[in-house]
């Protein structure tokens, strides 16, 4: 949204009645789908400050920059459980949902995925403006945003899995990190005891000021399966 706002603002500066238009814009009443952006674009089209071809280009670029924005409207459960597993399986088709057929000692809810004897816990989060109280989709951030963000990977139980796969979503990209359970448990940012009385459970906060501390664990989608195997080897050494 930051990119689009800047582009439209530059176009508005070309209006002969820019000051009058901005005053009207401040008092604009909106009701979906008739909001301030629809009002600005229709006005710019109407006075030929924005051509139809320019509008199409503006639209296409916005969609490209926000190709994952719809994920910010998912409920926490749908995003964290259903979508996260489906996303990983779309990249690694051979992963399976855990069961006692695959792991005789498995108890329901212990971990999320199973690959070649490796117990995998999937954690996902979305990058949002830390200083905004708006709805999720309105405070969703692009990967090049300089605003503060905070992602909380919760209910982490290192004793119940071998490898963690973290999936982080921005408006325009998805990033992946793979760590062994030991690397998570001993990480300086891991906090034990997320909930009182929950032994062996903690959380890890990833923020704009510490995300680069995890650069060594970030992997590309094409190497996720190999990264999981490598992390498992590190876990058992």
Residue with tokens 């459980």: 81
Residue 13 CB-half CA count within 13 A? 6
- CB environment 42-77: b (16+ within 10 A), e (fewer): ebbeeeeebeeeeeeebeeebeebbeebebbebeee
H helix intervals, 1-122:
2-12, 18-26, 36-46, 52-65, 76-77, 84-91
Average pLDDT over every residue of 33-60: 88
What is the structure's pLDDT at 186?
A: 92
Least confident residue range of 4-8, 73-77, 148-152, 192-196: 192-196
Residue 15 zone, left/alpha/beta (φ > 0; ψ -120 to 50; rest):
beta
What is the structure's pLDDT at 110?
A: 92
Indicate whether 39 pLDDT > 70. yes
* Distance of alpha carbon 221 from alpha carbon 114, whole angstroms: 17
Instruction: Using alpha carbons, select from 218, 86, 226, 77 the residue that is nearest to residue 155.
Output: 77
Measure CA 162 to chain center: 23
Instruction: Using alpha carbons, select from 224, 111, 140 the residue that is nearest to residue 177.
Output: 224
221-232 per-position pLDDT tens digit: 999 999 999 999
Indicate whether 237 pLDDT > 80. no
130-180 per-position pLDDT tens digit: 999 888 888 999 999 999 998 888 889 999 999 999 999 999 999 999 999
Indicate whether 194 pLDDT > 70. no
What is the residue-averaged pLDDT of the chain? 89
What is the structure's pLDDT at 197?
A: 47
* Distance of alpha carbon 81 from alpha carbon 67, whole angstroms: 20
Which carries the bigger pLDDT value, residue 235 or residue 19? 19
What is the structure's pLDDT at 198?
A: 56
pTM: 0.82
Q: Is the dihedral of CA 127, 77, 222, 65 positive or negative?
A: negative
Indicate whether 83 pLDDT > 90. yes
Least confident residue range of 3-7, 100-104, 140-144: 3-7
Instruction: Using alpha carbons, select from 210, 205, 105 the residue that is nearest to residue 162.
Output: 105
């Amino acid at each position: 949204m930051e990119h689009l706002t800047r582009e439209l603002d530059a176009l508005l500066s070309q209006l002969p009645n820019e000051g009058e238009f901005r005053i009207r814009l401040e008092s604009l009443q909106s009701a979906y789908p008739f909001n301030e952006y629809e009002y600005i674009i229709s006005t710019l089209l109407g006075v030929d400050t924005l051509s139809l071809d320019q509008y199409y280009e503006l639209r296409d670029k916005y969609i490209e920059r926000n190709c994952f924005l719809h994920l910010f409207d998912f409920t926490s459960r749908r995003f964290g459980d259903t979508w996260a597993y489906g996303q990983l399986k779309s990249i690694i088709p051979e992963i399976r949902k855990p069961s006692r057929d695959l792991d005789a000692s498995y108890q329901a809810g212990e971990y999320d995925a199973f690959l070649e004897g490796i117990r995998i816990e999937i954690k996902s989060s979305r990058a949002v403006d830390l200083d905004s109280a708006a709805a999720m989709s309105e405070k969703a951030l692009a990967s090049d945003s300089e605003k503060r963000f905070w992602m909380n990977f919760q209910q982490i139980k290192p004793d119940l899995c071998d490898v963690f796969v973290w999936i982080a979503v921005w408006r325009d990209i998805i990033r992946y990190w793979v760590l062994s359970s030991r690397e998570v448990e001993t990480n300086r940012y891991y906090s034990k005891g997320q909930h009182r009385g929950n032994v062996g459970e903690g959380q890890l906060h990833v923020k704009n000021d510490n995300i680069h501390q995890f650069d060594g664990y970030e992997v590309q989608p094409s190497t996720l399966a190999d990264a999981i195997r490598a992390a498992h080897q590190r876990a058992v050494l």
